[in-house]
Homo-oligomer: A and B are copies of this chain.
Amino acid sequence: MSEENPTREKILRACWELLEGGDTKVRMSDIAKTAGVSRQAVYLHFPSRADLLIATTRFIDEVEKVDDRLARSRAATTGRERLEAYIEAWGGYIPRIYGVGRAMMAMMDGDEEARAAWNGRMMAMRHGCEAAINALARDGDLAPGLETDDATDSLWTLLSVRNWEHLVQERDWSQDAYITEIKRIARAAFIRP
């Protein structure tokens, strides 16, 4: 897991666990307690709460192997397949990062570092959208009258964590129903009829 320091890892796992638990207000002292270390020990490893959250997202990425998941969608040959594969890959990943993502998003206004870190991740996700849209365009399957840039922004918005939150968390959709519906909308909106 590329984490050789056991205390650091205990803290990261504690942070992950607590945020995953849906606790909306996780304090540094909560994390310390869960990790079984003193609050000050946390500051020995992470200069600030924002840094800890950012490190936690990176840690999750490694443990859950995001890149591998998303890379798989690149194997698809046609644009249509690629679009679906990407929605499945990213859409399936959202629940894994939602806990920490929520905390990061909450921290975004106020902490510039957290904002940049989260935006960076979202821009990486946008590249996947761009690749899918470009593959569609290459096949001549992109809906007529659409610029690839705009279609990329649209798809990126459709796949946002907030939309997942709206449907799965607030409206109680199942993960499967979410994936199915997003694919349906994406097909309808981006693929030439």
Residues of A within 8 A of B (CB): 24-25, 102, 106, 109-110, 119, 143, 150, 153-154, 156-158, 160, 162-163, 166-167, 170-171, 173, 177, 181, 184-185, 188-189, 193
Q: How many copies does the complex hold?
A: 2
Cross-chain contact of A171 among B24, B153, B170 (Cβ < 8 A):
B153
* Consensus secondary structure, chain A interface: helix
Of A157, A160, A173, which is in contact with the most chain B CB atoms at under 10 Å from its CB?
A: A157
A76 to B56, CA, bound (A): 50
Complex CA gap A44/B72 in Å reads: 59
Instruction: Give 5 closest A-B pairs by Cβ, nearest first.
Output: A24-B109, A162-B162, A188-B188, A157-B166, A185-B189
Smallest beta-carbon distance A12→chain B, Å: 22
Q: Are A102 and B109 in contact (CB under 8 A)?
A: yes
Contacts of A184 in B (CB 8 A): 189
